[in-house]
Amino acid sequence: MLNYEVCKNWTFPDIVHRYTERDTMLYALGLGFGQDPMDRGALRFVYEKDLQAVPTMATTMGSPGIWWRDPRTGADAVKLVHGEQDIRVHKPLAPSGTLVARNRVVSLTDKGAGKGAIAVLLRTLIDEASGETVAESRNVTFLRGDGGFSETSGVSDPGPEALPAVPERAADIEVSYATRPETALLYRLSGDVNPLHADPDIAAKAGFHAPILHGLCTYGMGARAVIEQVLGHDAARLKRLAVRFTSPVWPGETVRYELWREGDTVLRLRATVDARKTVVLNNGVVEIS
């Protein structure tokens, strides 16, 4: 059974994350930037000349790992699922640098016995040289096997505010990206080496017919859609991207991104694999400048 006091007060050491221009280009390649060698806008993310970092690369930095596996948490780590991701960018991510990551547990919500629990973690990324906050990354995890913990602890935090549904009208912008069969193998080189995304045997044990694509790769491709279709390849204008993960993507599938404009600085986002008639990202909120 999940131990509320232990998890809520879990102490994470500061994590120093150093990255180079090569890391920045590798991340962008994992999202499919550069597939068209004549696309000069995309080239700014995969070539050292006038290099820009994709803001969602911040999600790959300073992770504390799967700390839920520590027996002191009491959590059933096998049944946890990444439910939502929300990043807020306070200053443009430099093409190379050193960041200090500070992680903390914001809330633990009991949905009831047999209904699971929700954990919200916040990661703050701070520029080591200036001390300025670069980005805040909010991770919502669904702990499917840990409902009912409040019956023992007597404590449960209010749940996170739900992301709003996308509009029912037709999208203002649509773009489709074909992933490659080796996309997960490329993306994992940016830091998420979970064998679920590479090893067919591990994927089978998890109930999948093949290794699945990282949810954060599908998420990063959403940032790519905004950068290419709305921001004219000016990544510094992307200030926030929040989504709910609703279904996995398999490498080699084509993902269609829909964007709705809601004023000058807000868009809504959804992503679908049309071949399976499956929504893979939903309730997306995008903020731009």
Catalytic residue, candidates 90, 192, 233, 252 = 192
Pick from 288, 246, 247, 227: which is nearest to 32 by CA? 227
Based on the residue annotation, tell me whether 83 is a catalytic residue of this protein: no
Whole-angstrom CA distances from 51 to 20, 31, 58 are 11, 16, 16
Q: Element (H or E) spanning 119, and its range?
A: strand 117-127
Q: What's the confidence (pLDDT) of residue 97?
A: 98
pTM: 0.96
Q: How many CA atoms lie within 13 A of 140 on its CB side?
A: 19
b vs e for 260-280, b when ≥16 Cβ sit within 10 Å of the residue's Cβ?
Answer: beeeeeebbbbbbbeeeeebb
Domains of the chain (ranges; CATH) run 4-288 (3.10.129.10)
Q: What's the confidence (pLDDT) of residue 244?
A: 98
Q: What's the confidence (pLDDT) of residue 153?
A: 87
Q: How many CA atoms lie within 13 A of 40 on its CB side?
A: 1
Q: What is the dihedral of CA 184, 34, 101, 20, to 10 degrees?
A: 110
Based on the residue annotation, tell me whether 212 is a catalytic residue of this protein: yes
Tens-binned pLDDT, residue by residue, of the chain (289 aa): 999 999 999 999 999 999 999 999 999 999 999 999 899 999 999 999 999 999 999 999 999 988 999 999 999 988 999 999 999 999 999 999 999 999 999 999 999 999 999 999 999 999 999 999 999 999 999 999 999 999 988 999 999 999 999 999 999 999 999 999 999 999 999 999 989 999 999 999 888 999 999 999 999 999 999 999 999 999 999 999 999 999 999 999 999 999 999 999 999 999 999 999 999 999 999 999 9
Task: Give the other-Cβ count within 10 Å of 114's Cβ.
Answer: 9
| Distance in angstroms (rounded) separating the CA atoms of residues 188 and 40 | 26
Q: Element (H or E) spanning 29, and its range?
A: helix 21-30
Catalytic residue, candidates 32, 62, 215, 220 = 215
* The pair of three-digit structure tokens given for residue 128, joined into one six-digit string: 């080591």
Based on the residue annotation, tell me whether 192 is a catalytic residue of this protein: yes
| Distance in angstroms (rounded) separating the CA atoms of residues 120 and 84 | 9
Based on the residue annotation, tell me whether 32 is a catalytic residue of this protein: no
Catalytic residue, candidates 212, 227, 284, 288 = 212
Catalytic residue, candidates 32, 110, 147, 197 = 197
